[in-house]
Amino acid sequence: MQITTQNIGLEDRKDIEELETKIGKFKAGTMQEERFRHYRLTRGVYGQRQEGVQMFRTKLPYGKVTANQLLVLADLAEKYGHQNLHITTRQNIQLHYVKLDNAPAVWKGLAASGLTARGACGNTVRNVTASAAAGVDPDEPFDVTPYVHGVFEYFLRNSICQDMGRKIKIAFSSSEKDSGFTYFHDFGFIPRIKEVDGKEVKGFKVVIGGGLGAVSIVAPTVAEFMPADDIMPFMDAAIRIFDRHGEREKRMKARMKFLVKKLGVEAFMELVEKERIGIPAIAPFDVPAEVTPDLPGIDNLTSVEIDDESAFKLWKKTNVFEQKQKGFYGVFLKVHLGDVSPDTARALASLVSQTAADDIRFTADQNILLRFVKPEALPYLYHELVTLDLAKAGYGSIADVTACPGTDTCALGVTNSTGLADTLKNLVESEHRELLDVQDISIKISGCMNSCGQHMGSPIGFHGSSIRQGIKVIPAMQVVLGGGIDTDTGQGYVADKVIKVPTRRVPQVLKTLLADYEANKESGDKYLTYYYRQGKRYFYDLLKAIAKIDEIVEYEFFDWGQDKQYIQSIGVGECAGVSYDMVGAILGDAVEKIDESKEALQGEVWSEAIYNAYTGMVIAAKGWLLSKDVKCNTHIGIIEDFDKALAEDPVVELEGSFTDLIFRMKQKAPARGFAEDYVNTAIEFVKSIIASREDAFEGTEKLVVDAYYKA
590 close to 626: Cβ distance less than 8 angstroms: no
The structural domain count of the chain equals 4
The count of other CB atoms within 10 Å of the CB of residue 687 is: 14
Residue 568 domain-assigned? no
Q: Residues 388-427: pLDDT tens digits?
A: 999 999 999 999 999 998 888 887 878 899 999 999 999 9
User: pLDDT value at position 583?
Assistant: 77
More confidently predicted of 586 and 512:
512
Does 129 reside within a domain?
no
DSSP string, 376-414: GGHHHHHHHHHHTT---S-TTSTTS-EE--GGGT-TT--
Q: Is the pLDDT of residue 253 over 80?
A: yes
Residue 612 shares a structural domain with residue 546: no
Q: Give yes or no: residues 323 and 424 share one domain.
A: no
What is the C-alpha to C-alpha distance for residues 123 and 54, in angstroms, rounded to an integer?
Answer: 18
Alpha-carbon dihedral angle through residues 157, 63, 43, 615, given to the nearest 10 degrees? 30
For residue 548, the SS3 value is coil
CATH code of 22's domain? 3.30.70
DSSP 90: T
In a domain, 506, yes or no: yes
Same domain, 433 and 510: yes
Q: What is the DSSP pairing of strand 199-208 with strand 221-227?
A: antiparallel
Q: How much is the pLDDT for 639?
A: 95
Instruction: Decide which of 355, 387, 419 is a domain's last residue.
Output: 387
So what's the pLDDT on residue 636?
A: 96
Do 542 and 511 belong together in one domain? yes
Select from 226, 310, 300 the least CA-distant residue to 269: 226
Residue 568: the pLDDT is: 61
91: confidence class by pLDDT, cuts 50, 70, 90: very high
Q: How far apart are CA 385 and CA 370, in angstroms?
A: 12
Which CATH number covers residue 464? 3.30.413.10
75 in any annotated domain = yes
How many whole angstroms separate alpha carbon 711 and alpha carbon 704? Answer: 12
Residue-level pLDDT at 582: 67
Inter-CA distances, 12 with 69, 395, 397, 683, Å: 16, 37, 40, 28
Looking at the domain assignment, is residue 649 inside a domain?
yes
- pLDDT bin (cut points 50, 70, 90) of residue 433 is very high
Quote the percentage of the chain above a pLDDT of 70. 94
Average pLDDT, the chain: 92
Residue-level length of the chain? 711
Give the domain-ending residue among 121, 145, 160: 121
Q: Are residues 409 and 550 in the same domain?
A: yes
Quickly state the pLDDT bin for 588 (edges 50, 70, 90): confident
Do residues 353 and 67 lie in contact, with contact meaning Cβ atoms separated by under 8 Å? Answer: yes
593/137 Cα distance (integer angstroms): 44
∠ CA 370-156-206, rounded to 5°: 75
pLDDT digits (tens, 9 = 90+) for 113-128: 999 999 999 999 999 9
Q: Same domain for 5 and 104?
A: yes
* Residue 408 sits in the same domain as residue 551: yes
Separation between Cα atoms, residue 651 and residue 695, nearest integer Å? 11
- pLDDT class of 4 with cuts at 50, 70, 90: low
Q: Does 460 score more than 80 pLDDT?
A: yes
* 407 and 383 both lie in a single domain: no
Which DSSP helix (H) or strand (E) runs through 427?
helix 418-431
Whether residue 699 lies inside any domain: the answer is yes
Domain identity same for 589 and 516: no
CATH code of residue 699 = 1.20.120.330
Higher-confidence position of 160 and 470 = 160
Using only the alpha carbons of the chain, give its radius of gyration. Answer: 26
pLDDT at 566: 59
Give the global pTM.
0.94
Q: Are 406 and 457 members of one domain?
A: yes
Q: In which domain, by residue range, is 341 found?
A: 309-387
Same domain? For 452 and 586 the reply is no
Range from 191-195, 246-250, 408-412, 567-571 that averages highest in pLDDT: 191-195
How do residues 378-397 score in pLDDT, each as one tens digit? 999 999 999 999 999 999 99
491 lies in the same domain as 587: no
Residue 630 included in any domain: yes
Residue 154 lies in a domain: no
At which of 358, 387, 416 does a domain end? 387
Residue 581 confidence (pLDDT) above 80: no
pLDDT band at 650 (very low <50, low <70, confident <90, very high): confident
Average pLDDT for 276-304: 91
